Amino acid sequence: MHGIDYLFLLCVVLTTVAAVQGVVFNSFRWHSPGNAAKMSWSGAFPVDGGVMPSMAILVPARHEEQVLTETLLKLCHQDYPGLVVVPIVGHDDPGTLAAAEAAAYLYPEIVKIVIDHSWPKSKPKALASALPEVETEIVGVLDAEDDVAPGLCYRVANEFLADPEIDVVQGGVHLVNLEGPWFAIRNAVEYALWYSSRLPYQAHLGFMPIGGNTCFFRRSAVDAVGGWDVESLAEDADIGVRLAATGAKVTVRYDEALATREESPPSTSGLVRQRVRWYQGFIQIVRKREWRSLSLKRQLLALVTLAAPFFQFLSALMLPGILLFVGLTRSLSVDLVLAAFVPLFVELVALVLEFDALARLRRTEGGKRIRVRDVFWLIVSIIPYQLVMGLALVLAVFREIRGNHSWAKTEHVGSHREHSGQIIDLRELERQKTSASVKAYR
């Protein structure tokens, strides 16, 4: 064998390792017959004789007038005793403020609006500004377009009551606008596997980046780490690292029927902006080096998690390119050619997992069966999706080098809802309130 042959073999090994790692993490629910059951939520009703903990749900919202009112109304229908819903609105955002006031007009005893005066605006700054305004035992975080399953607050509270050592409960999230842009199906499958397998597995191993929403914290745990880092572009993963460093216990609960429903970005540029922010946030966390206080095992897991975009870039774009180049320019031995098929077989296993996740999503959303069109887009979008992720990673690296930490907000248009983009009028809400038809928002 020559030097170029060893390079070819090294690329095969690295690609195979990356593919196997992805399959292992994304198949956790199948590792053991009891794993799926362990992720199930507790009961939907109060524990007999138990006093339900007080709970506040923080909803950062910026330019969200199209979706916010309906989100807040659905949260008010959780019927959880003493629930406080806290929309956090920028001081320069009258449209979103009006949307929050519409819900507060109907439910003044539940909705408590917090005005964020920080500048420039960002989600962690909004969360930090609202935290001193609530004094509840449990603090949850949701996005402005989220549709939360009925009774979720009781289930969350029961998790904390069942195990007093739990510091964080992470729920599932589904992207449900499957008829959206070209990447919508692949993006939805990515989310489904992340919340149904990868996060539970990482919580099992002792290190998990907290999700951006449907996450509920014991207030004492948040205070112990000083709240959210207002300079972070991935404040959810950042607080997950700091909580892990304190030995906090994080649990993941996942049920397709109880997952929070939201939407994919409405355009390719929106997807790129979202991933640039996430990837640059991961780079920030690595550079802060707070993960170094973890045990060696958890340090390795943290690096695998935070450096995942780089591994993905290498395994999905660079290494296959090297394999193809060498294969076309050299006469390789039969052994090396056969070895090159190994990562392909692993990727086929990964594709089977994606098919299963997509089928479960379709069944959850209206009991539909997976369609030929779904399979087509899931397969065809593989390479373009990885190219977009690669572009986002490159832009994130350049932004970090230049010291640009501006917040790129993800646009929400309500495409996952029946009345997409509807702005709810106060007079209409008053009419509905008096006629008791507000139940239509459930």
Token pair 């919580």: residue: 203
Answer whether residue 377 is part of any domain: yes
Helix segments in 307-381, DSSP class H: 308-313, 319-329, 334-339, 342-364, 372-380
Answer whether residue 352 is part of any domain: yes
Q: Which of 47-56, 214-223, 379-388, 418-427 has the lowest mean pLDDT?
A: 418-427
Task: Give the whole-angstrom CA distance, residue 323 versus residue 421.
Answer: 47
Answer whether residue 70 is part of any domain: no
For the ranges 35-39, 244-248, 416-420, the maximum mean pLDDT occurs at 244-248
Answer whether residue 241 is part of any domain: no
Answer whether residue 86 is part of any domain: no
Task: Give the whole-angstrom CA distance, residue 42 versus residue 219.
Answer: 21
pLDDT (mean) for 28-40: 86
pLDDT (mean) for 264-291: 94
Tokens (6 digits) for 287: 């550079």
pLDDT (mean) for 319-348: 77
Give the pLDDT of residue 188.
95
Give the pLDDT of residue 44.
62
Can you give the residue range of the structural domain that contains 200? 1-37+180-212+267-410
Give the pLDDT of residue 435.
54
pLDDT (mean) for 309-319: 76
| Residue range 105-141, pLDDT digits in tens | 999 999 999 999 999 999 999 999 999 999 999 999 9
Answer whether residue 106 is part of any domain: no
Q: State the DSSP H helix or E strand holding residue 260, giving kind and residue range, or none if neither.
A: strand 260-262
Tally of domains within the chain: 1
Question: Pairing state of beta strands 114-116 and 84-90?
Answer: parallel
pLDDT at 11 exceeding the cut of 90 = no
What's the whole-model pTM score? 0.89
Task: Give the whole-angstrom CA distance, residue 258 versus residue 45.
Answer: 14
Token pair 């199948």: residue: 30
**Burial readout 365-399 (b: 16 or more C-beta within 10 A, e: otherwise):** beeeebeeebbebbeebbeebbebbbebbebbbeb
| Residue range 164-173, pLDDT digits in tens | 999 999 999 9
When pLDDT is cut at 50, 70 and 90, the band that residue 25 belongs to is very high
At 54, the amino acid letter reads: S
The sign of the torsion formed by the CA atoms of 67, 68, 71, 76 equals negative
pLDDT at 407 exceeding the cut of 80 = yes
Cβ–Cβ < 8 Å for 103, 111: yes
| Residue range 218-253, pLDDT digits in tens | 999 999 999 999 999 999 999 999 999 999 999 999
pLDDT at 420 exceeding the cut of 80 = no
pLDDT at 441 exceeding the cut of 50 = no
Answer whether residue 287 is part of any domain: yes
When pLDDT is cut at 50, 70 and 90, the band that residue 428 belongs to is low
Answer whether residue 134 is part of any domain: no
On the CB side of 98, CA atoms within 13 Å amount to 11
